[in-house]
A and B are shown apart, each in its own frame.
Chain A
C-alpha cells in the first residue's frame, strides 16, 4: 500500500494536468503551425503572437547539418507549465501553446513553437517573448550540434 502511495505521489510531483487553455508538450513529432493556430482560435482574441525556433545552418562549432535535442520530458513539461502560469499572471492571455520537439532535426526544421492569443497585441507580444526567453534558460532540454567535423553538446545554463 505504501509503495503504491509513493508512486502516486511521485506521479503527482512530476505530472500536473494543464488547463484547457494551455497546450504544453515535448514531442518527437514534427511541429505543425496549423495545429497551433487551431489551438489558439478564440473569438475574443484580437491578437495572436507566434514564435518559431528553427535549426539554422551555422552553429557555434561550424556548419550544422542537424541538431539532436534531448529532454527530461516530465520535468520539462512541468517547468514549461510553471513559466506559462507566470505569464498568465502577468498578462491577460486567452490561450497559450508551447511545444518543443526533440530528436534529430535537420536544418530548417522547427524545434519549438510558442503561441499566445490575447485581446490586444501588447499582451501577446510580451507573453510570447517572456515564455521563449524562460524556456531557453529554465527547462531541462539539451542540444548537440552535428557538423561535418564534430558532434558537440552546446554549452548552456545551469538550472537553479
Chain B
C-alpha cells in the first residue's frame, strides 16, 4: 500500500431539528479522505445534500459535544453533529 494516499474515513454526522427534517435522516455517513477538516466535511455534506445549501450559514458543527472551528481535523471516532440555532427553554 502506498503511504502517501490517505485512507478514507467514514464520518457519521448527527442532524437535528430543521436539518434533520430537510435530509430525512437523524444520522448520515460521509466518506472523506483521512485527516480532513470540519470545513471539508461540511462542503461534502452540502454537495451530497444540496437542500441544506441555503442553511449553510445557519448551523455550527460540534465535535465531541464542543462547537468547533472550520479548521478542526476530524476522524471517524469523533462524534459530529450539525446544530441549527437553538431555542430551548
Contacts and interface: CB of A to CB of B under 8 A. Distances in A.
Contacts of A13: 64-66, 79
A27 to B, nearest CB: 13
Interface residues of A, number: 37
Q: Do most interface residues of chain A lie in helix, strand or loop, or is the interface mixed?
A: mixed
B62 interface: yes
Interface residues of B, number: 24
A10 B88 CA distance: 25
Q: Do most interface residues of chain B lie in helix, strand or loop, or is the interface mixed?
A: loop
Interface stretch (B3-11, B12-20, B35-43, B45-53): B12-20
Contacts of B86: 136-142, 156-159
Interface in B51-78: 58-60, 62, 64-67, 77-78
Given A74-B65, A159-B83, A160-B67, A142 B16 contact: yes
A7 B16 CA distance: 22
